[in-house]
Amino acid sequence: MIEKFRKEKDSLGEKDVSMYAYYGIQTARAMENFPISGILPKKQFITATAMVKRAAAIANMATGSLKRRIGSAIVRAADEIIQGRLHGEFVVDVYQAGAGTSHNMNANEVIANRAIEILDGKKGDYKVVHPNDHVNMSQSTNDTVPTSMRIAALFLTSRLLIELKSMEKALAAKAKEFDSVIKSARTHLQDAVPIRLGQEFKAYAETISKAIKRIENAADGLKELGLGATAAGTGINTHPAYRKYVIKALKDITGIKDLRPADDMLEAINSMADFVNMSAALRGLAIELIRIANDLRLLSSGPRTGFAEIILPPVQPGSSIMPGKVNPVMAEMLNMVCFQVIGNDLTIAMASQAGQLELNVMMPVINYNLLQSLEILKNAVKAFTERCVKGIKPDRIRCKEMAEKSVGLATVLNPFIGYEKAAAVVKEAVARGKTIREIVLEKGILSKKEIDKILDPMAMTRPRNIRGKNKVS
């Protein structure tokens, strides 16, 4: 196909733009200026931007500021983008002009040119529908971009929460399944008191439950919108009723019914605190997921030379040289994703403190890193739950063997023989390679009946009344 061009003009001069492109001159300039990463905006951000533009057109028609013929065409064009069309026309690198002006103009130009077509005009004829005068009416990059960021983040957060709740449910199910499996706990990576494998998994489920609550709390802050603030929080160039209409329209379009206008419009566009809070909640989740993944890697280590107390589902061969080797690849994947999320959080923190006066111009990098964190966590949690957690099995024999060998069993003897005598039993058991039970019986410290009752596996993993049984001399 022979490339054809149309000539477009902006305040800097003229430029050729492909006849087939829906974007215009400002987008073309951005493509030349920012050949940085090759990373383009995420579909959720494109969709959220189109939703904001649709809401603005509806509000402007409601106030009488925008002719219905033009406004209706803008709404139709935005609808097509919301439905997934024309996403290939959003071509500006994520590392771009401060505040996201290039992305905003990319959206304005694509919607304008599609609206022009809907009105039977030719792309580039901005007398029909103008990117700034019509599509961007009552708006500024400074309020539309952070609003689009919030909506996109809320969409992805809802999906992440679904996957986290599925993980919590899967871990809780394993907790019940493993409740009768007695094993040795470990503190400082050394033998500790007996514990049920189910108790470990119940704690993991509770960890995820708390992380969900923190993310839900952070998400609530993202529902406060500065839309209508325009350039510097004053609402310049907007109708007095615009703000009311645009928030209502955005609620209807997004389905997020508890969106609300910010109390202070300037604060809403110059503070990135809500994004920092969400990123911090994701960092907290990542830290907990790393801990859980590392525990599972340790507990499944082996199968002959490690802990080998649980068996992770084998999902692929683990070595190109060692036959039959199977690695904990799903846990390794989860670790790597979480490391990335923690790095993203630092970027978001540095960018969020870099705002000056009435605007934070670092919004594009905040947006990219937050949306990446949400998306990769969503995908990683889903894969880890389905391909690892749900298939975990205990090695009951190994768990029992390790529990019986643990010198941590001596802790249970404290109320009956005293700490010092119990410590002597541990020392001898370790020196002679014997179990605590064997040393106690051999030395005649307790009878078989007494030691059997004291070392009852299930009783050792919960509180119990020991009054009247202290035999310390």
Instruction: Convert the pLDDT of each residue in 32-64 to its tens digit.
Output: 999 999 999 999 999 999 999 999 999 999 999
Instruction: Convert the pLDDT of each residue in 376-414 to its tens digit.
Output: 999 999 999 999 999 999 999 999 999 989 888 888 888
* In the predicted structure, residue 472 carries a pLDDT above the cut 50: no
- Which range (275-284, 356-365, 435-444) has the least confidence? 435-444
Instruction: Convert the pLDDT of each residue in 17-38 to its tens digit.
Output: 999 999 999 999 999 999 999 9
Helix (H) and strand (E) counts in the chain: 16, 8
Per-residue confidence band for 240, with pLDDT thresholds at 50, 70 and 90: very high
Q: Which residues contact 269 (CB under 8 A, 6 or more apart)?
A: 142, 143, 146, 226, 229, 232, 233, 358, 359, 360
* In the predicted structure, residue 297 carries a pLDDT above the cut 90: yes
Mean pLDDT on 143-149: 98
**For the chain, how big is the Rg over CA atoms in Å?**
31
Instruction: Out of 166, 319, 447, 473, pick the active-site residue.
Output: 319
Q: Which residue intervals of the chain bear CATH 1.20.200.10?
A: 148-221+260-395
Q: Which residue intervals of the chain bear CATH 1.10.275.10?
A: 5-137
Which CATH topology does 5-137 take? Fumarase C; Chain B, domain 1 (1.10.275)
State the pLDDT at residue 1: 62
Per-residue confidence band for 456, with pLDDT thresholds at 50, 70 and 90: confident
Q: Which residue intervals of the chain bear CATH 1.10.40.30?
A: 404-461
Which CATH topology does 404-461 take? Ribonucleotide Reductase Protein R1; domain 1 (1.10.40)
Q: How far apart are CA 414 and CA 394, in angstroms?
A: 30
Report the Cα–Cα distance between both ends of the chain, in Å, rounded: 98
Residue 11 among the catalytic residues: no
Tokens of 112: 């304008």
Q: Sign of torsion, CA 92 93 97 103?
A: positive
CATH number of 148-221+260-395: 1.20.200.10
Tokens of 273: 């605190």
Residue-averaged pLDDT of the chain? 95
Judge contact between 87 and 81, C-beta under 8 A.
yes
Per-residue confidence band for 2, with pLDDT thresholds at 50, 70 and 90: confident
